[in-house]
């Protein structure tokens, strides 16, 4: 399952990506915003995506806002969430393969639909590498969470 969330600045791109993912038979759940509202805040949408991604291993999330930073910060406040911003294919690939990211942050003001499709497709299809150095680093992040430091 891919959970989607966006504020007003990411709304249009989220809507386009949801249709794209549905067209290639990738199951999505849209956690909002469900209508364009210039007064909304990114916080609640990023939080909802993070909560749902945590429910079951294997879930992924995609969050959208203007810069990608706000939703990224909020999502990363949740234990077991590793949210990464990507602006190119390599960033999306390494977020998954090196860092085991389970949420992708898309900076809607800085990338177009075709780039977003490429980033998201790469993110979804890339597995965690399981190389020792990557598992060691992710384990250190998990320990920080367990010790209440993250």
Going by C-beta distance under 8 Å and a sequence separation of 6 or more, which residues neighbour residue 103?
49, 50, 53, 60, 61, 62, 63, 75, 81, 82, 83, 84
- What value does the mean pLDDT of the chain take? 96
What pLDDT sits at residue 149?
Answer: 64
148 or 76: which carries more pLDDT confidence?
76
74-132 pLDDT, tens per residue? Answer: 999 999 999 999 999 999 999 999 999 999 999 999 999 999 999 999 999 999 999 99
1: pLDDT strictly greater than 80: yes
The residues carrying an active-site annotation are 65, 98
Note the Cα 28 to chain centre separation in Å.
13
| Separation of alpha carbons 127 and 124, rounded Å | 8
47: pLDDT strictly greater than 90: yes
What pLDDT sits at residue 146?
Answer: 87
40: pLDDT strictly greater than 70: yes
Domains in the chain: ranges and CATH? 2-146 (3.40.1400.10)
What pLDDT sits at residue 150?
Answer: 55
């Amino acid at each position: 399952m891919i959970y989607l969330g966006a504020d007003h600045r990411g709304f249009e791109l989220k809507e386009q990506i949801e249709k794209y993912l549905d067209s290639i038979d990738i199951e999505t759940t849209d956690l909002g915003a469900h209508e364009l509202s210039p007064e909304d805040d990114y916080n609640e949408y990023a939080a909802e995506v993070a909560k749902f991604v945590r429910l079951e291993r294997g879930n992924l999330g995609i969050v959208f806002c203007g810069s990608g930073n706000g939703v990224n910060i909020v999502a990363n406040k949740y234990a077991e969430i590793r949210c990464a911003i990507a602006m190119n294919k390599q960033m999306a690939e390494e977020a998954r393969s090196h860092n085991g990211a389970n949420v992708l942050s898309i900076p809607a003001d800085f990338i177009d639909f075709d780039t977003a499709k490429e980033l998201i497709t790469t993110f979804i299809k890339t597995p965690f590498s399981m190389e020792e150095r990557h598992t060691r680093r992710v384990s250190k992040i998990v320990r920080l969470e367990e010790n209440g430091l993250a």
